[in-house]
Structure 1
Amino acid sequence: MNILSIQSHVAYGHVGNSSAAFPLQRLGHEVWAVNTVQFSNHTGYGAWRGEVFSGAAVTEVVQGVEERGALPSCDGVLSGYMGDAGIGEAVLDAVARLRRANPDALYCCDPVIGDVGRGVFVRPGIPEFMRDRALPAADVIVPNQFELEFLAGASVTSREAAKAAASALLGRGPRVALVTSLITPETPADAIEMLVVARDGAWALRTPLLPVSVNGAGDAIAALFFAHLLETRSPAEALSRAASSVYGLLKATAEAGSREILTVAAQEEFVRPSRRFDAEPA
């Protein structure tokens, strides 16, 4: 498949396109990466160098791809961290261009806003853009628990509450909502949950909670889930494959004591996960 991925890029480490592109390529997919920022490293270090690109710069790159006659063969757009609300409009312009060229193409939005414990960590205007503009345009939405609560305007204190909140998102446009991390009072202390809700059902799984705190895992989950969904058209199977691969990736990272996820060293996990987790009806 061909996937247009519009995300951040770092020279050192693996977040954004630096986390999403290689796993997809390892699975045999073409990734047309358009970078929204060019940073030395992810912002979790507290210091970085580089610049945020303008929406006009993003649009110019996408337009150049369009001029090559490539968009009719593109299967989907994946977007992540935007850095500036103006880039959001460029992403939606890219989605519109793709849908004109290929009406069957899908748009997967990773609505990067913030996280539990950290709160909002993006620039002003971006959370509202995600809620009011990106969400209705998306076919697939992949929020974490914090982002789910913000987008749905509801507190998530149980799996049922998460299902209700994700279903509310589907009522605004998307066909599928994947909650990439879910911890409620019902979740065992040694586990973390993932939940996918589609118009024809809901599925969930639990994986062991690993002693690791790294950036970029959510970017990998979104990319892998989207690719597997495009390939299988099964939300449950896409969840199982993505969760299994990312668990293996994070397990290798934890065992190595690495500050950065081992995207390259643990690449076999993308193709043949060392442990399989099956999604079950939720």
Structure 2
Amino acid sequence: MSNILSIQSAVAYGHVGNSAAVFPLQCIGHEVWPVYTVNYSNHTGYGAWEGPIIPATDVAAVLSGVKDRGAFPLIDGILTGYQASPEIADVIVSTVRDIKAENPDAIYACDPVMGSATSGCFVADEIPPLFRSTIVPVADIITPNQFELGFLTERDVTDLDSTLAAVDAAREMGPSTVLVTSVQRPDAPSAAAAADGGPGVVEMIAVDDHGKWLVRTPRLPFKRNGSGDVTAALFLGHVLQGRAGANPEDAVKDALAKTASSVYDLLRVTQEADSPELQLVQAQDYYANPQLQFEVEAL
């Protein structure tokens, strides 16, 4: 079991941010300490919501209280996701540095939430430059989707070669491990079938110092907010477990296989229920016991 500090948004209705990340991490055996950056009624994809952005000073106060309990040396992983205000960047960076000063083995995983290929960039204009200049350089793991990877590295990311080149550029910014989600490219197997109206595929690519890997799953013809938050959380959780295991060099590869399996089944269960929100609780068995139905390919 690891202790994970998760600093991100929360909603009352539905599952995004910490409201998506905490439960799956608990299901695979981790202790999670959530700190909220917003407390909304629902995710912003509905076009209307209520509730506050938590001021950065209040977030810092909560984190200070956790530190005062002597908990920072106990933290194995730090997870951040959607950030609604640019002021939070300094709080995150200082917290990561304080934790690593007390536990140098702690891993910081940053999900640089900025947008998607379908919605475009949906965060404040100040946020992407802060990811580039301030947050990503102190991260050990980042989990952008394909769109965010291009935005982060200021590159066109289309085919496999350009994706891997952008991953290399992202790793040069600081993080040793990059997970790219929602990869769709014209040079992928079954891309032609998708162009003809078939289901097509979607891929995830993970890269670290030990190798480059790709996993391919069927593309389900719908989108639900929060799936990226679950992906980032499970990936960090499995990496922590793998690095503490017998074969730490396989931690990222194994985390990719388990995460892809669990997230696919979560989306499948959600689609079958025709639910507007992720069926997070209903799919819980697939977090603790991923089916590992998709092959991981070395690149």
Q: Distance in 1 between matches of 2:52 and 2:89?
A: 16
The Cα of 1:64 is off from its aligned counterpart by 0.5
My pick for the range that moved more, 181-190 or 28-37, is 181-190
Q: Is the 8 A contact 1:170 1:199 kept in 2?
A: no
What is the one-letter code of the residue matched to 2:227?
A
Residue 247 of structure 2 corresponds to which residue in structure 1? none
My pick for the range that moved more, 267-276 or 238-247, is 267-276
The Cα of 1:274 is off from its aligned counterpart by 4.0
The two structures, once aligned, show a CA RMSD in angstroms of 1.0
**TM-score scaled by structure 2?**
0.92
Residue 175 of structure 1 corresponds to which residue in structure 2? 176
**1:134-190 residue CA offsets vs partner (Å, 9 max, x unmatched):** 111110011001110011121112112111110111111101000011001123221
Residue 214 of structure 1 corresponds to which residue in structure 2? 224
Residue 29 of structure 1 corresponds to which residue in structure 2? 30
1:226 maps to which of 236, 254, 268: 236
The Cα of 1:54 is off from its aligned counterpart by 1.2
Q: Which runs of 5+ in 1 are unaligned?
A: none
Give SS of 1:85's match.
coil
The Cα of 1:275 is off from its aligned counterpart by 5.0
Q: Is the 8 A contact 2:257 2:292 kept in 1?
A: no
**1:26-55 residue CA offsets vs partner (Å, 9 max, x unmatched):** 111100000000000000111100010111
What is the one-letter code of the residue matched to 1:220?
V
Q: Is the 8 A contact 2:6 2:33 kept in 1?
A: yes
Alignment of 1:240-279 (within 5 A): 240-274=257-291, 276-279=293-296
Q: Distance in 2 between matches of 1:2 and 1:32?
A: 8
Q: Distance in 1 between matches of 2:182 and 2:33?
A: 27
Residue 96 of structure 1 corresponds to which residue in structure 2? 97
Q: Distance in 2 between matches of 1:210 and 1:273?
A: 18
**TM-score scaled by structure 1?**
0.98
The Cα of 1:124 is off from its aligned counterpart by 2.1
Alignment of 1:112-191 (within 5 A): 112-187=113-188, 188=190, 189=194, 190-191=200-201
My pick for the range that moved more, 8-17 or 94-103, is 94-103
Residue 64 of structure 1 corresponds to which residue in structure 2? 65
Give SS of 1:213's match.
coil
Give SS of 1:184's match.
coil
Q: Distance in 1 between matches of 2:50 and 2:242?
A: 40
Q: Which runs of 5+ in 2 are unaligned?
A: 195-199, 244-250
The Cα of 1:231 is off from its aligned counterpart by 1.0
Q: Is the 8 A contact 1:212 1:253 kept in 2?
A: no
**1:44-93 residue CA offsets vs partner (Å, 9 max, x unmatched):** 11110001011111111111011111111110110000100111211112
Q: Distance in 2 between matches of 1:153 and 1:68?
A: 41
Q: Is the 8 A contact 2:16 2:43 kept in 1?
A: yes
Q: Distance in 2 between matches of 1:255 and 1:27?
A: 24
What is the one-letter code of the residue matched to 1:272?
N
Q: Is the 8 A contact 1:241 1:276 kept in 2?
A: no
Residue 38 of structure 1 corresponds to which residue in structure 2? 39
Residue 201 of structure 1 corresponds to which residue in structure 2? 211
Q: Is the 8 A contact 2:12 2:41 kept in 1?
A: yes
Q: Is the 8 A contact 1:143 1:179 kept in 2?
A: yes
Residue 86 of structure 1 corresponds to which residue in structure 2? 87
Moved over 6 A (4+): none
Q: Is the 8 A contact 1:19 1:220 kept in 2?
A: yes
Q: Is the 8 A contact 2:258 2:292 kept in 1?
A: no
Aligned residues: 282
**1:182-218 residue CA offsets vs partner (Å, 9 max, x unmatched):** 0011232211010011123100010000122110000
Q: Distance in 1 between matches of 2:292 and 2:106?
A: 31
Residue 110 of structure 1 corresponds to which residue in structure 2? 111
The Cα of 1:17 is off from its aligned counterpart by 0.2
Q: Distance in 1 between matches of 2:283 and 2:105?
A: 33
Q: Distance in 1 between matches of 2:20 and 2:76?
A: 20
